[in-house]
Each structure stands twice: as structure tokens, then as C-alpha cells.
A and B are shown apart, each in its own frame.
Chain A
Amino acid sequence: MGLIDMLLQKFISLLSFDPPEDKTEARHNTGVQLDSAVAEKELSEFGQDARSAGQRIKDRRKARSRPSRVQPKRLEGVKPRSGFGFGGSLPAGLTRDTSEISPDIFASETSSEVSPFAGKAGGDEVKPLTESLDENLEIVKRLLHHGTNADVVVREFDIPTEPKTAAAIIFMEGLAGRDAINFSILQPLMLIANLDDDGEADSRLELVKRRLLPGNQVTESNNLRAVIEGILSGTTCLLIDGSDIALSVETRAWEHRGIDKPSAEMVVRGPQEAFNETLRSNLALIRRRMRTPDLITEMLKVGTLSKTDCAILYIEGLTNPQLVDEVRRRISETKSDHIQDTGILEQFIEEKPYVLAPQTLSTERPDRMAAFLAEGYVGIMLDGSPFGLVLPATFWSLLQSAEDYFLRWPFGAFLRVVRILALILAIFLPAIYLALTNFHPEMIPTDLLLAIAASREKVPFPTVTEVLIMEIAIELIREAGIRIPGVIGPTLGIVGALILGQAAVAASIVSPILVVIVAITALGAFAVPNFNMAFAIRLYRFVYILLAAALGFYGVAIGVFIQLVTYVNLKSFGVPYMSPVAPYTRSSGDALFRYPLWKSEIRPSFLEPQQKERQPRISRGWVKEQGKNNRAKSGASKGEENGK
């Protein structure tokens, strides 16, 4: 027992160990040691169990750390939406940009909820800056682990005022642009500066800001948390001696991939641009297609450690505000440490995680995102993710492709029918084959039945085993095809084709007809435009294979029924999944088929958009004009004839 207690004490003290060179941390360290001493004293005095004493120490530690969590809220509450802790109006010349790339994002509601400091910050991150550059630098360096963390760059210099003013910039190597720092911060401050100093620190700061910082976005802050968050997102922090305000200069310029062609949502006709991993580029791609001031980009932070920028996009005055509120609420209430992709975020915000059907629509196409926004949907973009989310998702929207609209309506409608057929084949074909051959051979025409029987003659396995072997082989090829290094990728196709197409048949492992069945099934799955939906289909297929193996068509029908009621009962962000078919709501016939665009007059009513009409009833005004002209012409010619 004593050994356990000793180990526990040791463990607790280890947890509270800090570098001795850090004065503040050393103070904390001493505090904990004192706590331990008190605990030991309590133990000796009252003879209590050391475990309970250890627990008390933990409780005290918790109690001590509690204010550091509460305090930011209080600060944010005092100065709401002030970004860097500033209340009131900004000084002249300082732009507080509220666009999607504004540092104001750090003042979002969620930013007060989560902290980027995984380690022990000792509550320093919420302290205001002082007028001493040394003190400010010391705290910032400690919070950023300067010295240990090689990415942190601190450059101290003098601004050539009379007398000289000590200053320093802090930035993250790789996140901030070198040129921007050299030419927009250091050069003007070190070489051009020749300021008439009136001795007032704030005035000096203002002069620096107005005359010496040519950067397009400069934001003030006296809150360390905001300063640190700015540095971590690529801005450069300028600290000036004698001023308790830091300037964050926009210098974000990390390396990123350029705009590329879509890889998962390719089209023959239509835009060939796809999102990349940079949020600001992605938002610009959307905004380029939606040149309306009503396109709103709300910024939130997700992930306590990752602090990933998350943009909620909608059109003010069009999108249902309840829908926007719901999306905002779910994202804000998501508590996780690391959310780096919309694929992760969607798992936190979807309604029923145990249903296979995808409940959000992901797209890598800015044109598609813009089109959805114009219909009254809400979009989500995440920094670092080349896929945006469209909310809510309906079953029908997951079967649609951007190209449906870029082609003339009969072609678009035909593509939809082909896709429905592909969906049915991808889910049911192996199950139907199994049910037919095992339970209902009388349905198969005699010639075909004989052909199937002959092809299966040498196969030693039951049909269900044969089907499962082939389906698993296809899944293996598919998975291997994604994971295989690009250089040897083409080999996989040859291997797969040989194994499945010839060798397996020649070895009498599977029948040739089954190869055809599985190939058609795979083609069907590939024809489904949504990646998540295609995944769901792959899993459903196995369920139906098992049902067909057990109960034939009866099992398949029961499965269809259960899937049907599950789908009609499902909701995505409060919107029934099978809308507008069930429940029936008015729409422009853009579900199973696609009507001509000029007849698509209303927006999907299941979204309850604020503006229900997309276009007037007669959207092709020229037809009316032409009709008028024709009538006028015929009237005139009749008049002429009468005149004659």
C-alpha cells in the first residue's frame, strides 16, 4: 500500500514538473511541492489514505486552473466581438477587416471556448500586455516555447526614433511570408523610420501603424491569447517598447497547392476548378461565382488544438435562418481536439451516425457549392480541407452531378435515370443473382438457366461463397488501387483483370457469369457521383447478399422495406432525407429527373428559403417579346393588305 502511495505521489509531482529556468513555471512548481508537503503533513497528522490526499491535490490543481478557463469568457464578455480584446472604436487608419480572412475570426464565439494551449500556460495567455517590451517578449516566448520550438522566430531591433525605440517581431517560420516581413515590416521600420516622437507611447504606436506599416491588414490587440493565435495562424506580431498594444500584421503566406482539376467530381462540360487546402482560396472561388454582398461567410474555430478555421456560408435574406442557426449551433457545440477535415467534422454534426446513408453532401467543386448556396442550402468550408460540406443533404441530391445542369435538360434527365439504374444494380444485382439461382430458378429463361448451370458445373463452391469471394476480391482491388504507389498502379489493373477475368474462371473458382455480374455491379457503384453514397452502397450490397442467401427474394424485399422506412424517417439538419418526394413538398422537379431550367422556377421548398422563387414564371422574356413582335408584324401585314 505504501509503495502505491509513494508511486502516486511521484506521479503527481512528475505531472507538475516544469523547466526550472521558467520563473513563472518554477513558481507553479513550488506551489505544487507545497501542496505535496501539505498532503504529506495531512497524512502524518491524520493518518489518512495517501490516495485521498493525492486526490485533494488534484482537486486543488483543478481549482487553481479553473479561473484560467473562466477568465477569457469574462474578457470576451466585457468587450464583445472586439477581436483582439479591444473595445470601442478603432484608431483611424486601422482596418478591421471582417472578410473571411480577417484576424477577427479569433473573436468568434467558439474561440473563447477553446484554448490553443495544450500545455500549462499558467493563465498567462489571458493576461493583458504590459508597457515593457522585455516582459511582453518573455511571456510570448514562453508561451510559444521559444528556444525549444524551432519554428518560432523572434527578431529584436530598434526603430530609429529619437530616442531609439526597442521593438521586436514574432512570427512562425513557414506560416508567415519572408518577403512581406522583410519589405513591409522590417525595412520601413528600420530604415525609413524618422518619426517625430511626442513621447506618448500610444501616439508612437499610431505613427508606426499609420506611416511605417504598409501591410494591408493591421490589427491591434492587448490580449496575449489573441496575439498568440494570430502568430499561430501566420500573422506577424509587432511589439514596441512602451506600448501595451501589439500590432498583428497580415503576413500569411504558407505554401499550398494551386487550383487543380476536380479528382472526384469530374465533368466533361463545365468548370474544371476544384477546391484546394487553403480556405481563403476556396472562399474566393465561391465568391467569384456569387458576386452578391449577401453572401455571408461566418468564421468559427473548431478543434481545441487544431483551431481550424471553419467558414459557414449562406446567403443573407435567402437562406432559412433556422437552418443557419442549427448549423452554427452544431459546429459551436462540437468539442474535439483535432478537426482537420470536413470528413471529420461531418461525423460530429450528422444526425444519426449509425445509419449508413450519408447525411451531408461533400463537394470539391466551387461551382456546385455556389449553386447549392443559391438554392438556400448552407455550406461549410474548413481550412485544410479540399472538400466543402453542403447542408442539409437529401437522398436525391447525393445522386446528382454538376454536369446534370450544364447539359441540355433531356441529357441531364437521362443521366439521372442512368444513375438510378446504376444505384439499383450496384445494390441489388449480386443479391438478385443469388436469389434467382438459389431460390427461384423457374424465373430464369430455360436457355439462360442452362448456360448458368453449365458455367457453374465445375465450380465447387455454393453460389453465395462464390459471390462473396468475388465481391471481396473487387473490394481488395479497389482498396489496393487507392493505396498502391502511383508508379506501379497500372500493374494492379492487369493483375486484377487477370486474376478475376481469366485465372479465377480457369481455376474453376468462380463462374464466368458471376464475373459479369460483379463487373456490372462495380460499374454501377462507380457511376454513383457521391463518394460517401458509393461507400454506403458497397456496404448495403453485402447486407443484401446475406439476406438473399438466407431468404431469397423475400429477404431482399424485407431489406428494401426496412431501408425505405429508415430513409423516410431520417433527417438531415431537420430536413426529411427523402424530400421532396416523401414528404411531398413543392419543388422544381429536381429530384429523380431534371426539368428544363426555364421551368425550374422555385427553390426547394423543404428548405423553406426566404425567397421562394428562383426566377419569374416567364424566365425567357425574349419569347414573350418575340411573340409580341410576331403579332405586331402579322398585324401590320394584315393592315397593309387591308390598306391595299
Chain B
Amino acid sequence: MASNDKIGTREAVAATIYFLSTKLLISFPQHMAEIGQTAAWIVPAISFATATLGFLVIVALLRRYPGMNIVEASEKAGGPILGVIASLGYFLFFFATTVLLIREFSETVSTALLPRTPLSVIMGVFIIATLVATSMGPEAITRASLVGMPLIIGTLVLLNLLLLPQSNFDTIFPLFGPGIGKIVYGGVVHSGIAGEIMFLCIIAGQLDERHKVQRMGLTSLAVSAVFMIVSTLTYSAVFPYPLSLHIAYPGYESSTLVYMGRFLQRIEVAFVFLWVISACIHLALSGYTATVIIKDMLKLPSHKPLLPAFAILGFTLALVPSDVPQATYIDFMIVKTYGGLVLFAVPLILLLVSRLRGDHNTNRG
């Protein structure tokens, strides 16, 4: 019977794609436009390429310690102090991502679907739903991702196709926007936008085919990069620069433009319906990842007791930003900028330390 509680390869890839791509639903394209102007679509390509290199470094570190996940491997490689600092860095990235997603997505729902409902109610329901999923463990969330995969693929493909009549691809010129140097710099610095790839290394111990973790990661990065690039390209074509800088909810605003005759129009609610499910999966994944890092750091037997505390903390912190622009600014200009440094540079340092010390785990995991 297929009753083992390991995470299958397809499930893991689906979950990682969800994790990487769902930010398209919030203000991602707008921030890409801020960095790359008319060349906004090139920025995610560079960020994902940088993240791929970072991911390979993480996998190299992971391979030195078979049977361990990245938190345990970091502690083993860097010792108790450096290891804990590294894990704390990972935790902060995922926890901040969780908190900011709660706020940003709730604001999107408030604007698009429930303008008269208090924000705290929307956030509360959002958190409760993801708390249910997170308490069920990674198997449930990743399987839900696999079932929901056609949703996000279908939504993105359909939206991009339906927006073709409104698209003007002349707006992507000049091709390199502010200049190649600035684009490359912006892309590399914002490699944190693909930082969620570390999720695979955190659940490495639960993967059914752990030896395929590199292939899983590369597949997820490639698919997500295509989604990001195409969607940002469509956004740039629909909202030309500098208008693209002033769209608060790019995904939602884009979908409102869909017009396929008198009968098929104003279907943004249908998209938001699917995006809510995607956002729940994303939040469940990031919430689980944050709590499981703490669980591994503190050597706790289960992550479940942490969930209510983190839920309340997340709810409270999500209300701290004064408005959406502030929340998105913190997300993309701070978390996703320095996040890349933490997620990819720290493992590189740990890898070098490990190599210098000649330390590695000989047990095959």
C-alpha cells in the first residue's frame, strides 16, 4: 500500500513551484518594473539564474551530510554557534515571508473581493485555514500542491492568453531598460525572490527520493522562472512603463482587463478564487517551513505545538506595516534582497568551513 509518509518527487516539485510562483499574485511584477523598468521581465531571469547557483551550493553542503536537512547540516558544518545563526537566518526569511504574505494577500482579497469586511477577519480566516493544513504536515500540503498544480498552471496560462489582445509588446523596448549593468545587479541582488527553493533542502529528510533533490530543485526553478518571466512580460506589455510602477495589485488589475466579448468580462473574481487557494498553499508551505526550522533548531519532536504561537505572532506582526506599499516594500526591498544573501551566501560559507575542516558525514542517508 502506498501508505508511507514520505514526500514523493512530483509532490515536492509541485509544492516548490507553488512556493516560488505564487508571489506573482501579489506585487511581484510591479517590483520587477521598479528594478528593470522596460526590461522588467529580464530581472526574474537573472534572479532565478543566481538562485540556481545558490541552490547548487546548498545541495553541495547537503551532500556532505547525507540523511540531514539543511538546518542539521548547517549546525554540523558551522558548529553550534554559526549553525544556529545560519538557521536563525533561514527562519527569519521564511517567517518574514509568511507574515508579509498574510498582509499582502489579505489586502488583495480585501480590495478585490471583500471591500467591506474588516481586514482582521480576512487575515484570521486565512490563518486558520493554513493552520489546519500546516498541522497536517508536509505530506498533506505537498499533495494538495500536486492536486492544485493544474489550477495555477491553468490560471497563469489562461490569464496570459486572455490578456494578449490588450498587450502591446512594443512597450518592452528599450530592451535592456536602465542598462545591462543595472539589470544584472538588480537581478543578482534580488535573488531572494527564488529563496523559497531552500524549502526542498529543509524537507530533504522526508523526501522519498532524496538523491534527486538537485533535479527536483532545478526543475522547480526552471518551471517557475518561465512563469515569472512570461507573466512579467505580459504585465509589461499590458501596463507600459512607467504606468507599471503604480499598479498596486498587478495580478488582480491585469485580470480586470480581460475582455472577450460582452459575456466574458470582469472575470477577475474567478481568478482570485483560484489565487486564494494558491495563496493558502503558499502560506501553509512558508508557515510549515518556518516552524520546522525552529523545531530542528530546538531539537523538538514535533512542530505542531509551535503552530498556534506562530499563528498569533504572525497575525500580530502582519498588522504592523501601516499600509500595503510599506508591506510590499519590506517584502521585496528588504526580505527578498537580504534574504538571498542569507539563504545562498551563508551555506557557501558553511560549505567552505566544512571543506576546510574536512568534516562530512559518512553515513548514507
Contact = CB atoms under 8 A, between A and B. Distances in A.
B2 interface: yes
A351 to B, nearest CB: 11
Contacts of B284: 565
A608 B2 contact: yes
B352 to A, nearest CB: 37
Nearest to A561: B280
B304 interface: no
A48 B60 CA distance: 79
B277 to A, nearest CB: 5
Nearest to A559: B129
Interface stretch (A138-146, A364-372, A546-554): A546-554
Contact of A583 (B11, B133, B266): B11
Given A560-B277, A565-B133, A582-B11, A552 B146 contact: no
Interface in B100-150: 109, 113-114, 117, 122, 125-126, 129, 132-133, 136-137, 139-141, 143-144, 146-148
Contacts of A585: 2
Contacts of A571: 3
B269 interface: yes
Nearest to B115: A439
A609 to B, nearest CB: 10
Contacts of B114: 439, 551-552, 554
Given A443-B270, A561-B276, A561-B280, A584 B147 contact: no
B10 interface: yes
A552 B113 contact: yes
A216 interface: no
B364 interface: no
Nearest to A322: B1
Contact of B113 (A320, A554, A578, A582): A554
B263 A445 contact: yes
Interface string B281-311: 1001000000000000000000000000000
A562 B134 CA distance: 11
Contact of A557 (B3, B117, B262, B277): B277
Contact of B10 (A320, A557, A584): A584
Contacts of A445: 262-263, 265
Contact of A443 (B137, B143, B267): B267
Contacts of A605: 2
Contacts of B266: 442-443
Contacts of B169: none
Nearest to B139: A569
Contacts of A553: 113, 269, 272-273, 276
A575 interface: yes
B8 interface: yes
A322 B284 CA distance: 33
A573 interface: yes
B207 to A, nearest CB: 12
Contacts of A555: 125
A576 interface: yes
B148 A564 contact: yes
A585 to B, nearest CB: 5
B263 A558 contact: no
Contacts of A583: 2, 8, 10-11, 139, 143, 146
Contact of A564 (B11, B147, B265): B147
Contacts of B125: 551, 554-555, 558
Contacts of B109: 554
Nearest to A570: B140
A516 B1 CA distance: 44
A459 interface: no
A561 B148 CA distance: 9
A410 interface: no
A574 B8 CA distance: 16
Please indicate which of the listed interface residues A320, A440, A443, A605 has the most CB atoms of chain B within 10 Å of its own CB. A440
Contact of A558 (B11, B267, B280): B280
A568 interface: yes
B2 A606 contact: yes
A578 B125 CA distance: 25
A589 to B, nearest CB: 15
Interface in A456-492: none
Contacts of A322: 1
Interface in B1-41: 1-3, 8, 10-11
A556 B148 CA distance: 15
A423 interface: no
A218 interface: no
Nearest to A586: B2
Interface in B292-345: none
Given A322-B1, A551-B125, A557-B277, A443 B144 contact: no
B1 A606 contact: yes
Interface string A586-617: 00000000000000000001111000000000
B3 A568 contact: no
Residue in B109, B148, B269 whose Cβ sees the most chain A Cβ within 10 Å: B269
A579 interface: yes
Contacts of B273: 553, 556-557
Nearest to B140: A569
A105 to B, nearest CB: 28
Given A443-B270, A561-B133, A582 B143 contact: yes
A397 to B, nearest CB: 14
A581 B114 CA distance: 33
B147 to A, nearest CB: 5
A323 interface: yes
B253 to A, nearest CB: 15
A364 B136 CA distance: 35
A605 B3 CA distance: 11
A543 to B, nearest CB: 13
B126 A558 contact: yes
Contacts of B265: 445
Contacts of B144: 561, 564-565, 568, 582
Interface in B150-168: none
A74 to B, nearest CB: 36
Nearest to B275: A557
Nearest to A442: B266
A442 B256 CA distance: 11
B140 A568 contact: yes
Contact of B276 (A323, A557, A574, A582): A557
Nearest to A580: B2
Given A553-B273, A574-B1, A565 B11 contact: no
Given A557-B276, A581-B147, A584-B8, A575 B269 contact: no
A565 B125 CA distance: 16
Nearest to A555: B125
A53 to B, nearest CB: 49
A561 B281 contact: yes
A193 to B, nearest CB: 57
14 contacts: A322-B1, A443-B270, A445-B263, A554-B113, A554-B122, A554-B276, A558-B276, A561-B281, A564-B277, A568-B144, A576-B3, A582-B11, A582-B143, A582-B144
Interface of A: 320, 322-323, 392, 439-440, 442-443, 445-446, 551-558, 560-562, 564-566, 568-569, 571, 573-576, 578-579, 581-585, 605-608
Given A551-B117, A553-B272, A561-B277, 9 more contacts: A552-B114, A553-B269, A558-B125, A562-B129, A564-B147, A569-B139, A575-B2, A583-B2, A583-B146
